[in-house]
Amino acid sequence: MLTVRDVHFGYGGAPVLQGVTLSVRRGDLVGILGPNGSGKTTLLRLMAGALVPQSGQVLLGQQPVGRHARRALARRLAVVPQETHLAFDYSVIEIALMGRYPHLGAFEVEGAADLAIARAALALTGTAHLADRPFDTLSGGEKQRVVIASALAQLADGLTGTPAADLRVGDDAVLLLDEPTASLDIRYQLEVASVLGRLHDERRLTIVLSTHDLRFAASMCATVVLLGRGRVLSAGPPREVLTAERVAELYEIDAGRAAPLLPV
């Protein structure tokens, strides 16, 4: 569904990604693993259409990402950045509601349905009780979960099921997350991992995330892509990909020192 084909990209003169190819199928949970500076964030931005590759293509469906109409693309593809800093104070429910903007006309205001979707999204990530709290007063883990909820509200096209209204997300929706657990304590890492896991298992949501945490990638992702110095070193299920040699090559350390790092 989401295909990266031989993409090259660099900022200014220095190349960051060189000939990256990977493909994400519907319902996949893909983890892009690599050390800092390997180009993970850049790859995600290219996949989201925020950057244009210097050569190669990024396709969503049959079309290049950049060719999709902005709002239509936003209804299908949502990005959760590593950190969210607000210039002004918004409440949690307002942040969630901002996910609904791509569904509204130019001067249209959110309706009751949008509010219900936003609340359902918050409930899904276990943050419904924080709805009226200012975003800045939340803990790191709570903030991440709220931003995930906002992204879900963005992808949702309605509610299903009665009496408990539940979020309905289209089959072709994609959620991109940039280092979702990087700055979080273990406890919050587990919270976020659990939310993502449920979303993938229960709803078959297509998820692509980047991380430098081996164990997180191994435990969460059905497919792991090793990205080192802007190149794909290997891609596949964690068991196959995460060998001592590959990990050593990725992190540029001795194979011997890599072994203890491997997840059991």
Partner 1 sequence: MTPLPLRRGLPLVAACFLAMLAAVLAAPFLGSTPIALGRVFDRGIPFADNVDAQIFFIARLPRAAAAALVGGTLAAAGVVFQGLLRNPLATPYTLGVSAGASLGAMVAITFNLMLPLGGVAPASLLGALLAVMVVYGLSTVRHRGFSTTVLLLAGVTLNAFFSALILFVQFIGDFAQTYRALRWLMGDLDVADYTPILTALPLVAAAFAVFAWLARPLNLLSMGADAAATRGIDVGRAERLAFFGASLATGAAVSVGGPIGFIGIIVPHLVRLLVGSDHRLVLPASTFFGAAFLVACDAVARIVLAPIELPVGIVTAVIGGPFFLWLLVRKR
Which chain residues interact with partner 1 by CB under 8 A?
A: 45, 48, 50, 70-71, 73-75, 77-79, 81, 84-91, 93-95, 97-99, 101-102, 104, 106-107, 109-110, 112, 115-116, 154
What is the smallest separation between the CB atom of 244 and partner 1, expressed in angstroms? 36
Cα separation of 29 and 205, whole Å?
A: 8
* Cβ closest to partner 1, residue 85 vs residue 187: 85
* Cβ closest to partner 1, residue 55 vs residue 84: 84
What tokens were used for 201?
């298992």
What is the smallest separation between the CB atom of 219 and partner 1, expressed in angstroms? 27
Neighbours of 137 (CB within 10 A): 12
* Cβ closest to partner 1, residue 107 vs residue 256: 107
* Cβ closest to partner 1, residue 26 vs residue 71: 71
* Cβ closest to partner 1, residue 14 vs residue 112: 112
What is the smallest separation between the CB atom of 72 and partner 1, expressed in angstroms? 8
What is the smallest separation between the CB atom of 182 and partner 1, expressed in angstroms? 16
What is the smallest separation between the CB atom of 161 and partner 1, expressed in angstroms? 18
What is the smallest separation between the CB atom of 51 and partner 1, expressed in angstroms? 10
* Cβ closest to partner 1, residue 55 vs residue 219: 55
